[in-house]
Amino acid sequence: MSAAPPHIFTLTGNLLAERTLTFARWTAGATQRATAESFQVGGKGINVAKMLTRLGDPNTALCFLGGPTGLECESWLRDRGFSFQAFSTSTPTRTGLVVRTADQAETTFLGVDAAPDPAALLTCANALDALPAGSVLTLSGSLPGWTTPDYDPLRAALHRWLERGPLVVDTYGPPLNWFARERCTLVRLNRTELLTLFPGSSHANTDALLLRARERFGARRWVVSDGAAPVWFLDETGAPDSIPTPTIREVSPTGSGDVMLAAILHAHLRLGQSWRDAVAWAVPLAAANAAHPGIAEFPLEIILAMSFAKPLSPRFYS
């Protein structure tokens, strides 16, 4: 009998109370009337948890909630059966707005980042110290206020976690440099974020940048996406390897990197694939997400087809 898959904890540092408005068409500078409205909780770690749940992987979403917007997010997560642990903060959860039409590019407006207060960060640090052995921790998205002393307890807890279990990271800005220097199990990012680690190298090839990253940083594995371009993978010893992406008609790229990360974890931890093969397994799922509205809401049939190595119908990408 095979061992049970490890429990995956996703940590979201900057949750989003997000509304989507659908219009027949919209134009800047004029009053608009939507034809449909919906509410959802955004944030990269929540997206990862959503996809993990669709794949059948046990997971718990860790997040910070504050103010009336936080209460609305908490209700949404509970009503949809998310397994989650929320850390209460005095800072209201940030808001966001997604505008969709049938024939215009989707537009997202994000509210001001909401840094958790010191008490919430300390509570989160204590929770990380209490995670059960054998778990996997993923950290996704931005961490507002990362450079302040308020984050000292959480930084220390994350460093301690690296002595206990895998840490998978998908972040950017100031936290990225810190996590890159740690012995993280895997760092997933896009090319623009990778370039922030190497100022003045915008014309360098991604494979060359990855080799420099291996020399300079402590992270053990890297996955770099770049829109429709191939996804790059690098581990501790091999040469950089590119993985082609399917050709799709893009509907909404939002959350596709999060879907990819969840699928990588599923393929490696549940299906027993190597990290490189797990990335190759995940890339078509990220493409399918970009070819459909919503996040992790594309047809489940594509997942079943991949699980049994069946050819994928082009209709899932177009």
- CATH code: domain of residue 252: 3.40.1190.20
Mean pLDDT, residues 226-251: 92
Mean pLDDT lowest for which of 6-20, 29-43, 64-78, 254-268?
29-43
Kindly state the percentage of the chain with pLDDT values over 70.
Answer: 94
Residue 50, domain member (yes or no)? yes
Cα gap 182→185, rounded to integer Å: 9
Cα gap 233→30, rounded to integer Å: 45
Residue 106, domain member (yes or no)? no
The pLDDT of residue 61 is above 90:
yes
Residues 6+ apart with CB under 8 A from 15: 41, 42, 43, 46, 63, 64, 65, 70, 73, 93, 94, 114
The pLDDT of residue 311 is above 80:
no
The pLDDT of residue 249 is above 70:
yes
Residue 209, domain member (yes or no)? yes
Residue type (1 letter), 78: R
Cα gap 207→240, rounded to integer Å: 6
Prediction pTM value: 0.91
Q: What is the pLDDT of residues 26-46, one digit of tens each?
A: 888 889 899 999 999 999 999
If you average pLDDT over every residue of the chain, what do you get? Answer: 91
The pLDDT of residue 308 is above 70:
no
Residue 27, domain member (yes or no)? no
Quick one: pLDDT at residue 265?
98
Residues of the domain holding 214: 8-15+42-94+115-316
Residue 242, domain member (yes or no)? yes
Quick one: pLDDT at residue 304?
61
Mean pLDDT lowest for which of 44-48, 99-103, 110-114, 264-268?
99-103
Residue 217, domain member (yes or no)? yes
Mean pLDDT, residues 109-128: 95
Q: Is the model more confident about 31 or about 62?
A: 62
Residue 3, domain member (yes or no)? no
Three-class SS of residue 36? strand
Three-class SS of residue 11? strand
Strand pairing class (8-12; 136-140): parallel
The pLDDT of residue 53 is above 80:
yes
Q: What is the pLDDT of residues 157-168, one digit of tens each?
A: 999 999 999 999
Mean pLDDT, residues 255-277: 96
Give the count of domains, the chain.
Answer: 1
Cα gap 105→187, rounded to integer Å: 29
pLDDT class of 318 with cuts at 50, 70, 90: very low
The pLDDT of residue 25 is above 70:
yes
Residue 252, domain member (yes or no)? yes
Burial class of residue 24 in the structure, from the number of CB atoms within 10 Å of its CB (0-12 exposed, 13-18 middle, 19+ buried): exposed
